[in-house]
Amino acid sequence: MGHGHGHGHGTPGATAGAGYVRRLGLALGLTAAYMVVQVVVGVTSGSLALLSDAAHMGTDVLGLGLALAAVVLANRPAASQRTYGNYRLEVLAAVINGLLLLGAAAYVFVEAIRRIADPTEVAGVPVLIAAVFGLAVNVVSMRLLARGAQDSLNVNGAYLEVLADMVGSIGVIVAALVVWLTGWMYADTLIAAGIGLFILPRTYVLMRHALRILMEAAPPGVDVDAVARRLRAIDGVADVHQLHIWTITSGMEAASAHVLVDSDDRIHPVLDEARAVLADVGVTRSTVQVEPMSHTDDSVADVGSREPATR
């Protein structure tokens, strides 16, 4: 066995969404209550815009519930067979939220096409009142989640859903005013389709970010080749191989690397400097195996180099 020097570095802690459990719960309660109002008024008034917003609000209820459950579960103690704990549950919840948003958009488009061929009578005043109430609910929920959206991908997914709902509420208000003042029923259908179009690009961004994490791609903005060059430039380093940088969950980057040194007395200094390089690019958990040039181990598979950092 070669004279390798392996070191894990990282500090245990809660996920980025852990500080927003109460806010997620409040947003969930408000959203669920308003969804019931939307369904009742949408059915009685015949408004597709309000019903489509209610369908999207339904995905918010599920999405916020998933986000809340993911945060709670992700911060439970790690089981022996899950060395990274449940951190990835937050990312999975973000993916599910994205799929729900896509489903809501598809429903809106299909129903809008049907309504264009067969316009439905819409009662403008009840829709207007419900939409104004919904706008107030959305603004409150957005304020609850705004700070967490900057720290957690999971909370950001919930925030984007509420943001889309706020725009949807504004659209429903516009549609209700047009129907009420002019009697032009197509306004309700066109606004409903516009809500669906608004959902799609934001869903794409959320899904792309979450899937990058699940595929263990390097974090956006981190140039792996540049990091490798910086590691090779450390005094005493002969070569660097099997360098991996990936994201565990929002705000928690990890890395592993094998570093060859030309002298045994450089093992400890190189280890410290390598850690510093990785920390400089935002890696909070790293496993750096430092080995002398005389040590070779061809049996180490590439996938085996990604060892979890010591907690």
Higher pLDDT, 104 or 242: 242
In order of their start, the domains of the chain are 18-214 (1.20.1510.10), 218-305 (3.30.70.1350)
Band (pLDDT 50/70/90 cuts) for residue 83 is: low
DSSP 227-259: HHHHHHTSTTEEEEEEEEEEEEETTEEEEEEEE
Are the CB atoms for 49 and 192 separated by under 8 Å?
A: yes
Least confident range of 180-189, 193-202, 283-292 = 193-202
Beta bridge partners of 239: 260
Give pLDDT, residue 131.
85
Per-residue pLDDT at 55: 74
Query: pLDDT-based confidence at 235, cuts 50/70/90?
Result: very high
Cβ density class 174-208: b for 16+ within 10 Å, e for less = bbbbbbbeeeebebbbbbbbbbbebbeebbeebbe
What pLDDT score was predicted for residue 203? 79
Query: How is 74-142 classified by DSSP, letter by letter?
Result: HTSPPPTT-TTTTTHHHHHHHHHHHHHHHHHHHHHHHHHHHHHHS-----HHHHHHHHHHHHHHHHHHH
Residue 283 CA: distances (Å) to CA of 66, 85, 92, 218: 27, 18, 21, 11
- Alpha-carbon span 59 to 103, nearest angstrom: 9
Most confident of 95-109, 124-138, 216-230: 216-230
Write the pLDDT tens digit of every residue in 84-93.
667 777 788 7
List pLDDT tens digits, range 241-273: 999 999 987 778 999 999 999 888 889 999 999
CA atoms of 145 and 151, how far apart (whole Å): 10
pLDDT of residue 82: 66
Dihedrals phi, psi of 226, to nearest 5 degrees:
-65, -40
Task: Answer left, alpha or beta for residue 79, where phi above 0 means left and psi between -120 and 50 means alpha.
Answer: beta
Which residue has better confidence, 40 or 294? 40
